Chain A
Amino acid sequence: MRLWVPILLPSVAVLFASIGHAIFADEAYQTDYHLPLLGLPQAHTTLFHRPSAASKASLLYTLSDRLVLGAVNPKDGAVIWRQQLANQAENHTASGLLKAPEGGNTLISAFNGKIQTWDATDGRLVWEWQSRGRIRSIETAASSSSEDEKDILALSHEGTDAIIRRLAADSGDLLWEHVNASGDTPYSLVSYKDSVFYLSLHSALLKGFKIKVTELDASTGKQIGQPTVLNSDGEVTSEDSILHVGANSGVPIIIWTDKGLKTLKINAIGTKQITTVNVPSSQGDSAEEIVVHASRSSTALPHFLIHYIAANSHWGEVYHIDAAKSTAKKAFDLPLLGGKGAFSASSQGPDVFFTRHTAFENILVSSAAPTVLNSWNVCPKSHGGMVDPQDVTHAASEVIARGGSTYAVRSALALPSGDWELIRNGNLSWVRPEGLAGMTAAAFVEIAKQEDLAEELAAEGMRDPFAAYLHRLTRHVRDLQYLPDWSGALPNRLLGSLIGDKASTHDQSLRRDGFGFHKIVLIATERGRLAALDAGNQGKVIWNIQAVSLKAEETWDVLDIEVEEGTALIRAKGGEFLRVVVNTGTILQHQPSAMIKSLKTSVSLLDSSGKKVLIPVNDNGYLGDLPKADFGHGTIVVTEGEDSVVRGWGLIKGTKPKLVWRFMPASGERVESVNARPSHDPVASIGKALGDRNVLYKYLNPNLLLITAIGVEISTATFYILDATSGSVIYSVTHPGVDTRQPIVSTMSENWFAYSLYSESTAMTQDVTQIDGQNLKGYQLVVSELYESPYPNDRGSLGSSTNFSTVYLTAADEDDSLTSPHVISQTYLIPGPISSMSVTSTLQGITTRSLLCVVPDLNALISISKAFLDPRRPVGRDPSASEMEEGLFRYSPILDFEPKWILSHKRDVISISNVITSPSLLESTSLVFAFGNLDLFGSRVSPIGAFDILGKGFSKLQLVLTVVALAVGTTLVAPFVSIPGISEYPAPDEFSADKLAGAEKADRWNMEGLKLFRPSYTCG
C-alpha cells in the first residue's frame, strides 16, 4: 500500500469526471425506480394532522416500527419527508412516541432518551433534547410565550428517579424539572388545564400495582397536595393492563383491566372514584383484546369507544363522560361483526366520529347517537390488491362533515400483510407495501421464455405435410384474433418510435425484452414475506405473499435465493427451504427447518454426472453426512464457522467430507467476511494491453477468496487473499489504527479486489502516514490488482504452461514464486464511509467494471468506474504518452464522490445494505438492485456509457426527414447534373491504371502498419 504525500493538491478528479458513468437528466426517474418505505405504521403513532394552523388540508403522519417518522401525502401516498429516529446499529425493540399538538406546526417525537421536534411541513428539526434516561411519556401544555406552540412535558426514568421536565416550545430550553424519588415505576403524564398529573405504578404489598397519581403545577412544577393512590392492585399486574390514559377528550381518564379481561375500571384522573364495567361477551364470544379509541382533540366532546376483539369477531361500546360527576356512562353498543375490524376516532370541532372498518365495509357513526351516518362497501380487491379480503389491524381516519348529512371519510388502514392503504369514501386511493421493509435477500430472475411458438413449430415439423399445413392454418387463424389490437396499436407505436416517446410503448406485460432489461426481482423479508418486483416496469409489485408464518418477534433468515428455470429456491436458516413459481408466487414445496438443530443450511453442488446434490452445513462450520455422489476430481466447499475459523472441505467420494485446510486469522482478530469472486464474472481478456503494445498478464484464479479479519482490541483490519483449493495465503495486508466500529467492506472480481475502512494513523505507522507532524485520518478506499508477474509479456514461473496446480507444486515452484502474484495497490481518500460494496456484471465482461458503493451518509448508491481506481495510475508525475494511450492519468489520493456518479441521483435511498447486479443482454449495461432494512432501489448502470444502444438524444424523425430531404434534393438536382457530354470528358492523366496500382500498394503498406491497432473503448 502506498499513500503518497501530495494530499493537499487540489482534486484533479473533477477533470476526469467524464470517464465515469453519468445519468442523463432525461433518464433519471425513468430507468430507475425506488420504493421509499417507512416500515409498519403503529396504531398509536399514525394520525392525520394539519401541518400548520393555516393549512386547510392535512397530511398523514406515522412513526413506524422501524422508527422512521414520515409524512405521507394522503392524495397519492407519496412520501413527503422521512426522518430516521434511530441509527441502524441501535436496537429497534423500544418503540417511539409521537405527539402532534393541535394547531401547531411541529411534531414531537421521543425515542430512548431523545426528544426531537420536527417541522411538520418539511421535516426539518426544530430542536432536540437529550435526557440521561429513557423517555416514558411526552405531553404538551399551553405555552405562555407563544400562542400557537405548546410546551413539552417529558417524563424520563433516570436510575430510580422519575424526572418530569417542562421544555420550552420554541427552543427546547428547560423551564423546570421535578424529581420524584419515590422509587415507583414511572408510567405516564397527563396534562389537564393548569395541572400535570404524573402517573406511576406503586408496587402493592402482595402482588400487582397501585396506580399513584401525583398532581403538579404546570407553570412551576411544584407538587400540589398528596398523591392519590388508586386501589388497582387487584387488576394491574403490568403496564399492559392499563388500556388508556389521556386528557384527549376533555376530561382526563385512565382505564385499566385485569389479566383475564373480565372487568374494566375507569377513573377520572385526580379523583378517587372508579367506575367498574363488566366486559360484555357478545353472542358467546369473549374478548381477547380490548382497545380504547378517543379523539386526540382536547376541545372535542368527552366520548370514547371501547373496542372488544374476539377470535373471529369484534364489537364496541361507546361511553360518555359526565364532566361534573367525573363518571363514565355507557351510551350505546356497536353490534358484533365477523372478522377482526378496526375502529378509529376523529373529531371535527366538538363532534366526535367513530369509523368502523371491516374487510367489506366502512361504517361511520357519531359518538352522540348509535345511528349510522353513512356506510360504504369496500371493494374486496382493494385490500392489498391481490389477495382475499383481509382483517384490518388498525386504522386512522379523518371525517369531514360537509353540512347536512354528507360526510367525507378517508381512512389509512394497516393490514396484516403489511400493506398500508388509504380508502376514501369506500374507494381505494393508494396502497403502500410497507410490509416489504426489512429485506434479507434478493435475486434477479429471468422471465420465463415464451416456449409456445417453438413447441408448435416443432410439432409441425414432426407431422406429415398435410397435417402440418392444417395445423399451421389453424394457428394462423387463431392468431388473427390479435390482429385488430395489433393494427390498432400500430399507428401509436410507429408514431411513438418516431417521436421518441418511449412511455407510450412501455411494455406492461411480463415478457422478455430485446435488451434484457426486463427481469423479475425476487425479494424475501424478515417477516416471512416473499415478493416479486418487475424491474422492467418501475419496480411494480407483481405478487407479494406471506411465504412462512412466524410468531411475533421471530424473523425469517433467508440465506440465499437460487434461481432455476421458472422457479426459485429460497434457503433459510436451519435447512428450511421453499420453492416458488417466479411468475405467480405459487409455493410448490416447503420444507420447514430440519430437526437437526445445528444445521445451518445446505448448499447444492453438481456432481460429476451433472446431478444436483445437497451438502448439509452445520452452524459450527462442519459438514454433515454427504449423500452418495461422485465428485470426480473433487470439489472444495468452504465454510465459515462461528468460531472464526474458515475451513476447506474436500469432497471426492464417500459420505465423509475431508477437512483439507483450516484458516485462522492472526491472534486478536476475528473473521468478518469471506468473499469469493461473483458467480457470473466473465473475463474478456487474460492480459492487460499496455500502451507500448506489451501485455501484462492478469492473475486469474477462479478459486480466490478474500477474507476480511478485524481486530477490535488492537484496531486492525487484515485482508487475506486465499487459494481455496490449497488454503494457502497468497497475499495479505494489515491496516493499523482502524476504527472497527465504522463499516469495513470489501469485494473482489476478476483479478482485483477493493476494500474501504476508516483509519487514523498511530505511533506504529507514523513514518508512512504523518504529514507535517499531523496524524492522517479519514475514510480510505484501497484497490489492488493481481498480476502474474511485474514484467510485461512475462508470466513469471508459469512460463508457457497451460495448467498449474496450487496443491501439487513442481520442483521449480518450491521458491513460492508461483503462488504469489504481483500485487499493485493504491489508496484513495474518500469523503465518507461505504457500507456495502459490489461490482457491476455484464454479459461478456468486456465493459470496464464499476464499483457500486452504498454511501449511507448521503443516502445514495454510487458507481465508481474501475478506470478511476486503476492502481497503475502514475504517481507524482504526469503520464507518459503510452500511459495516456492506456487511459491512465496522474494519481491523486483524493477521490470525491462526484454527484454525477450517484446512481440514485436526487433520491433519498435510506437504509440499504446490499446491492445485487445482473447482466443485461447489452454488453454495456448491468442491472442493479439495492435493498436493505427499509428502501429498495433499482436501476441500470453503464460503466463506460451505453455504447451499444441509441440514446434518447437520437431522433428517428430527424433521420427520416434528412433522408427524405436528401432523396428529394437528389431527384430534383439530377436533371442539372445529367448535362449531355459531361461523361465524355477524358480521364485525367493522374488516374491512369499503373498509378492506381501504386496507390493501392501504398495503402496495403499502411494497413500493415496498422496491424497492431488495439481495440479501445471510449465512453460515448
Chain B
Amino acid sequence: MNSFLSLLALLSILFPTLLTATSLTLRIPPHIPALPPSTTAILTTTGRTLRAPITRSNSFVFNNITSADAGEYLLDIACKDYDFMSYGLDVKGEGPVVELYRVGRGGIQQGEKMRVGKEGVELRVMRAREYYEARSGCKFSPVIDYGGELVDRDKDGDGDAGMGAEETWLISGAAVSPMDLLKNPMILIAIVGLGFVFGMPYLLDNMDPEMKAEFEEQQKKSILSGGASTANPLQNFDMAAWMAGKTAGSAEQTQDEGGTSGSGSGAKARRRG
C-alpha cells in the first residue's frame, strides 16, 4: 500500500495533468437494448449538476472529473424506457477517487461504497417503464423503435425517399368484428340454451317410436313430470348412519326407504341432475 502511495505521489509529480482528472464510465447491462438518445445520466449536488448523454455504446461517460468536483452526488438516470436504481456517488481526494453506492430516495446510503476504476461500473435496471393503461377490447400497440434499423424506402432510386422506421407507431384501429362476440361466454351460453330450446322438440319428433315411448316412460317416472317429492336427496341423507360406518349399500337402501318411488338408476339420474 505504501509503495502504491509513493508511486502515486511520484506519478503526480511527473504527470500532474494526468492524475488530477479522471473519467467515469457507467455501463448499461448488455441485455438492455439501445436506449433512446434523450437518455441522460445526471449527477446532482448542491450548486452543481453534471450531465452525460447516452453514448453509442450504451454507456455514460463523465470526462474530466477533477478534484474541484469533489462532493457527494446523487446519480440519476433519466430514461424514457427503463427505471434505474438510485445511486450516490462520492468524488473525493486527489485523483480523484470516485465511489459509487446504492441509495434510497433522499440520498441515504444503502449499500457498500464501491470504488469505480477505469473500466467503469455497470448500473442496475429496475424495470421497464409502462406508460399505458390496458383497456379490454382494444388492441393497440404503439411501438417506438429507437435503435432500429433504418429502412431504406428509396424504391425508385432517386434518393428522395428519406428514412423511415425510426419512430413507427403501429396503431391498428379498434377493429370490432361480430366474430368477437362469439368469444363472449355469456353469448355462448345463450346460444347453447337457444339450441336446446329449439332443438329438443325437433329431436323428439325425429326419434323412432320405440325409443320415444321408452323416453316418455322414463319421463313419467322422473320427478320433474311425475309430481313426486321434489325434496333434495341430500336432505334425506342419514348422517348418523353414515358416520356410524354403515356400508354404502345400506346407505343407498336408507335413501330408497326415504320415500322415493324411483328405481336405482332413477336416483342416480337425479343425483346427476
* A residues apposed to B, CB below 8 Å: 7-8, 22-26, 28-29, 51, 55-59, 73-76, 78, 80-83, 119, 121-130, 398, 400, 402, 408, 410, 424, 499-501, 503, 715, 737, 739, 741-742, 758, 760, 771-772, 774-778, 829, 831-832, 857-859, 893-894, 899-900, 902, 905-906, 908, 910, 951-953, 955, 957-958, 961, 965, 969, 972-973, 976
Contact = CB atoms under 8 A, between A and B. Distances in A.
B242 interface: no
Contacts of B42: 832, 857
Interface in B159-198: 159-164, 166-167, 169, 171, 173-174, 176, 178, 181, 187, 190, 194, 197-198
Interface stretch (B133-141, B230-238, B245-253): B133-141
Contact of A908 (B38, B56, B152, B159): B38
Contacts of A398: 159-160
B160 A776 contact: no
A121 B46 contact: no
B63 interface: yes
B132 A832 contact: no
B55 A124 contact: yes
Given A737-B46, A899-B129, A776 B150 contact: no
Contacts of B164: 73, 75
B255 interface: no
Nearest to B86: A831
B98 interface: no
Contact of B108 (A8, A125, A127): A8
A857 B174 contact: no
A347 B158 CA distance: 14
A28 B132 contact: yes
A25 B133 contact: yes
A127 B61 contact: yes
Interface string B119-154: 000000000011111111110111010110010111
A125 B55 contact: yes
Given A22-B133, A25-B135, A57-B153, A75 B61 contact: no
B54 A124 contact: yes
A437 B42 CA distance: 26
B22 interface: no
A31 to B, nearest CB: 13
Given A55-B163, A832-B78, A905-B131, 4 more contacts: A8-B104, A28-B140, A906-B142, A965-B190
A55 B152 contact: yes
Contacts of A965: 187, 190
Contacts of B162: 57-59, 73-76
Given A760-B46, A859-B38, A8 B110 contact: yes
Contacts of B194: 969
Given A128-B63, A424-B160, A776 B132 contact: no
Given A8-B104, A130-B63, A83 B37 contact: yes
Q: Give the 7 A-B residue pairs with the shortest CB-CB distance, closest first.
A: A75-B162, A25-B132, A22-B133, A857-B78, A123-B37, A899-B129, A777-B107
A918 to B, nearest CB: 24
Given A26-B138, A75-B153, A402-B158, A7 B163 contact: no
A908 B167 CA distance: 12
A74 B53 contact: no
B137 A955 contact: yes
B41 to A, nearest CB: 10
B106 interface: yes
Contacts of A408: 158-160
B80 interface: yes
Contacts of B49: 741-742
B182 to A, nearest CB: 11
Nearest to B173: A501
A509 B64 CA distance: 57
B131 A23 contact: yes
B259 to A, nearest CB: 25
B74 interface: yes
Nearest to B62: A128
A402 to B, nearest CB: 6
Nearest to B158: A408
A7 B131 contact: no
A900 B134 CA distance: 11
Contacts of A955: 137, 176
Contact of B147 (A51, A122, A499, A775): A122
Given A25-B140, A122-B147, A130-B64, A51 B163 contact: yes
A463 to B, nearest CB: 50
Contacts of B80: 858-859, 906, 908
Contacts of A961: 178, 181
Interface in B33-59: 34, 36-38, 40, 42, 44-47, 49, 53-56
B106 A777 contact: yes
Contacts of A74: 160, 162
Which of A75, A122, A893 counts the most B-chain CB atoms under 10 A from its CB?
A122
Given A56-B152, A400-B158, A957-B176, A900 B56 contact: no
Contacts of B154: 56-57
Contacts of B63: 128-130
A546 B239 CA distance: 95
B107 A774 contact: yes
A125 B142 contact: no
Nearest to A348: B159
A735 to B, nearest CB: 13
A24 B133 contact: yes
Interface in B215-250: none
Contacts of B166: 73, 78, 80-81, 122
Nearest to B154: A57
A900 B131 contact: yes
Contacts of B153: 57, 75
Nearest to B197: A973
